[in-house]
Amino acid sequence: MQGEKISPHLQDFPAIDWSDIAPRVSPSVRSSLERILETQNGADLSLDESYALANAEGDDLLGLLVAANTLRAELAGNIVTYVVNRNINFTNICFVGCKFCAFSRGPREADTYFLTMEQMAEKTIEAWNLGATEVCIQGGLPRNLPKFHYRDILRVVKNAVPKMHIHAFSPMEIVYGLELTGMPLHDYLSMLRDNGLGTLPGTAAEILDDEIRQILSANKLSTAQWIEVIRAAHRCGIRTTSTLMYGHAESPAHWVRQMRLLRDIQSETGGFTEFVPLGFVHQNTILFHQGLARTGPTVAEHLKVHALARVLLAGSINNIQVSWVKLNRELSQLCLHAGANDYGGTLMEENISREAGSTAGQYTSPEDFQALIMETGRIPAERNTTYTRIHIKVPLDELTAEHSIEAEFA
């Protein structure tokens, strides 16, 4: 998408009502979308119908975007949430060698770093003093990491700020922790939970198809391992996010299969808090420079993936997040009109997308989020990590009558 301008065809879709676009949508796609608008349940679509939506173009794509926005209003209301958090990437040393990652370094490179426990405590205290309610802790995988390093990070952070929610350690890091300790998965996750782990990022998913995973990172955990860790976390009472990385070597069929897989897990465990589409940032990655990936998602793909998620996950995972670090300001706002209802976190110290070539910045303040959200005609609200507490962040006298009515049902 680098440098791609948003065409008027796509830029203006938020002003279109379903009744206006429906007559122009092909009969089969229209039938699928109208069924979901009626039932609010993405499980009602067959695999072939889902594939057709994932490949929608022209007026069919506009229909998908408008239907997703309509569905969002009904399922998530007019509120757009965000969380005040800080990223703590505790090291960039990693032996895994993911080709889509420009953040990791070999142990002997000049710009490696490894935060001490004291530094992580300081960053946590600083984040709390700036209003953060969450720290998101992930890092590279260095060889010979101390056996209980992940547990010890949790202890230090909790000791520094007992009320801070810790959202930490991807399924890849959990698998590495199992290798280090030799503990059974359930016991290891229970130990982390008992030492302060609040929720687990559902990252390291990328595309949950082992053929694609071999292209992206031959050394990474398998699809089966990712699913095993996520299900076990949910059984331990540890909720997780769910993710998909798009715009590289995958096809729309992969998007559909992954979303349907996430639906299946959710129906079994109920443990997902949200779904986060992650656009591939290509500029500084080996994957792109070796000719194994396209130049990131197009504008149409960004919008389509968010809309498809809203439709296919309807009634299952009803929080769809915009990853603002992957997008520019205008496109992130358009994705809010394409089915998304959450802006993610302020981050304070985002490194991974920035290293890959993203220019969206490392931090968006709560005030910036509030302005971005209000520009779209929606109501900004700060949330906690699990969406169980939401505080509207706009003076009541600034809400229009329309805003106020819709807010009651959000």
Q: Dig out the tokens for 306 from the structure.
A: 């968010």
Half-sphere exposure of 272 (CA within 13 A, CB side): 27
Q: Would you give the DSSP letter of residue 398?
A: G
Rounded to whole angstroms, how far apart are CA atoms 126 and 137? Answer: 15
Rounded to whole angstroms, how far apart are CA atoms 11 and 6? Answer: 6
Residue with tokens 């971005």: 372
Rounded to whole angstroms, how far apart are CA atoms 391 and 256? Answer: 33
> Nearest CA to 302 among 263, 255, 247, 265?
247
Q: Is 238 helix (H, G, I), strand (E, B) or coil?
A: coil
pLDDT computed for residue 117 by the predictor: 98
Tens digit of each residue's pLDDT (9 = 90 or more) over 129-141 = 999 999 999 999 9
Q: How many degrees, rounded to 5, is the angle at CA 11 between CA 297 and CA 29? A: 75
pLDDT computed for residue 2 by the predictor: 52
- Where does 346-410 show beta strands of DSSP type E? 379-383, 390-392
Tell me the three-class secondary structure of 161-223, residue by residue.
Answer: CCCCEEEECCHHHHHHHHHHHCCCHHHHHHHHHHCCEEEECCCCCCCCCHHHHHHHCCCCCCH
Rounded to whole angstroms, how far apart are CA atoms 384 and 134? Answer: 8
Amino acid identity for residue 125 in this structure: I
Rounded to whole angstroms, how far apart are CA atoms 102 and 97? Answer: 10
Phi-psi region of 182 (alpha: psi -120 to 50; beta: other; left: phi over 0): left
Amino acid identity for residue 162 in this structure: P
Mean pLDDT computed over 171-190: 98
pLDDT top residue among 395 and 44: 44
Q: How many degrees, rounded to 5, is the angle at CA 115 between CA 206 and CA 86? A: 60
pLDDT bin (cut points 50, 70, 90) of residue 104 is confident
C-alpha distances in Å from residue 56, one per residue of 61, 66, 301: 5, 13, 10
Residue 389, number of CB atoms within 10 A of its CB = 11
pLDDT computed for residue 22 by the predictor: 97
Residue 186, number of CB atoms within 10 A of its CB = 12
Mean pLDDT of the residues in the chain? 91
pLDDT computed for residue 363 by the predictor: 74
Is residue 338 within 8 A of residue 306, CB to CB? The reply is yes
Rounded to whole angstroms, how far apart are CA atoms 85 and 138? Answer: 13
Tens digit of each residue's pLDDT (9 = 90 or more) over 351-401 = 444 444 444 456 788 999 999 999 999 999 999 999 999 999 876 555 554
pLDDT bin (cut points 50, 70, 90) of residue 251 is very high
